[in-house]
Amino acid sequence: MAEGIVYVDGEYFPADQAKISVFDHGLLYGDGVFEGIRFYNGRIFKLDRHIDRMYQSAQLIGLTPPVPRAKFREIILETTARSGLVDGYLRPLFTRGMGDLGLDPRKARAPSVVVICSTISLYGKKHETGLSAIVATLRRTPPESLNPNVKSLNYLNNILAKSEANARGADEAILLDLHGNVAEASADNIFAVRGGTVYAAPTTNSLVGITRETILELCDGRYPVKVEPFPVDFLYGSEEVFITGTGGEVAPVVEIEGRRIGDGRPGPVTRDLQKRYFELVRSTGTPIPSRGSGNAPQAVGAPTAT
């Protein structure tokens, strides 16, 4: 079972004891929103940016956040402090809450707040050697059907693409939009490098990734950047391809649909950006308060695993 601490509606639990109701509309219908946040070396990377995005997601689905922003921030800091972890992953969620059956959100009585503080490991050694990818047959849900900036609790479009990658023995799936342009990977944004220029797939049909934003900042003054739509053939002809996400960090893609990208190894621009990304995340961010220092907000509820 996962290590860590989980906050659920006012109480803290060891990871294996945290529960929500089977009548929660987050479980029944995927009605809710979430964030994925990492902390490194005792600092939470871009915490406020993630909180902003979570409140924006909630706003986009008409879910009134169960707690005010400042309180939510305190809960995240306290949960992280209680976990005792210095490197890890946070998964805050707002669900529509417990209610009668039937998808009408008015049936849910009050939204719930959950903050999971644990660890995550996605690509491991492949950060150094590079990933293989397929192009999913399934297209990314179009923005006309669901705003890609809603990080909702329903990830089936992404999960089915990832399953296709699994079935075909690849590490990742690249999803195209309905027009055939590259949208994103299953839970990562996508970039290509050609002639020293970094090409970022636009976010018309993908999440405005916080890692993507960070990479664009790291390119500033060093590599020219173009944000424009491109088809998958553009990736085949690129010298480098890489994907970015909080969980997956910065990961080179060295093979797509059996075609080698560049020389089949992570390229210099990807490696440089990856190196500087890891330096940045390990040296910046909101410090996790030490427990008992007087900086941590007062504990809510009771049990802890520590």
Ligand X SMILES: Cc1ncc(COP(=O)(O)O)c(C=O)c1O
CB 148: neighbour CB atoms within 10 A?
19
State both tokens at 25.
């509309």
239 neighbors 230 (Cβ within 8 angstroms):
no
Q: Which is nearer to ligand X, 36 or 266 (CB)?
A: 36
**From 151, 162, 226, 275, the catalytic residue:** 151
Q: Which amino acid is at 149?
A: N
Strands 240-245, 11-14: pairing kind: unpaired
Residue 275: active-site member: no
Q: Which is nearer to ligand X, 170 or 183 (CB)?
A: 183
Q: Which is nearer to ligand X, 95 or 244 (CB)?
A: 244
| Least CB distance to ligand X at residue 135 (A) | 16
CB 60: neighbour CB atoms within 10 A?
15
Whole-angstrom distance, CA of residue 203 vs CA of residue 208: 6
Q: Which is nearer to ligand X, 158 or 238 (CB)?
A: 158
Q: State the greatest distance between any 2 C-alpha atoms of the chain, in Å, as a whole number.
A: 57
Whole-angstrom distance, CA of residue 200 vs CA of residue 74: 34
| Least CB distance to ligand X at residue 199 (A) | 16
Strands 131-135, 172-176: pairing kind: parallel
State both tokens at 234.
């553009």
CB 295: neighbour CB atoms within 10 A?
12
| Least CB distance to ligand X at residue 161 (A) | 10
Instruction: For residue 150, count CB atoms less than 10 angstroms from its CB and return exposed for 0-12, middle for 13-18, buried for 19 or more.
Output: middle
Q: Which is nearer to ligand X, 24 or 188 (CB)?
A: 188
73, 83, 92: which is closest to 14 by C-alpha? Answer: 83
| Least CB distance to ligand X at residue 160 (A) | 13
Whole-angstrom distance, CA of residue 69 vs CA of residue 85: 23
| Least CB distance to ligand X at residue 185 (A) | 7
Is residue 8 classed as helix, strand or coil in its secondary structure? strand
Phi, psi of 145 (to 5 degrees): -100, -35
Per CB under 6 A, residues contacting ligand X are: 36, 158, 184, 187-189, 206-207, 209-212, 244-246
| Least CB distance to ligand X at residue 292 (A) | 32
Q: Which is nearer to ligand X, 41 or 154 (CB)?
A: 154
Catalytic residues: 151
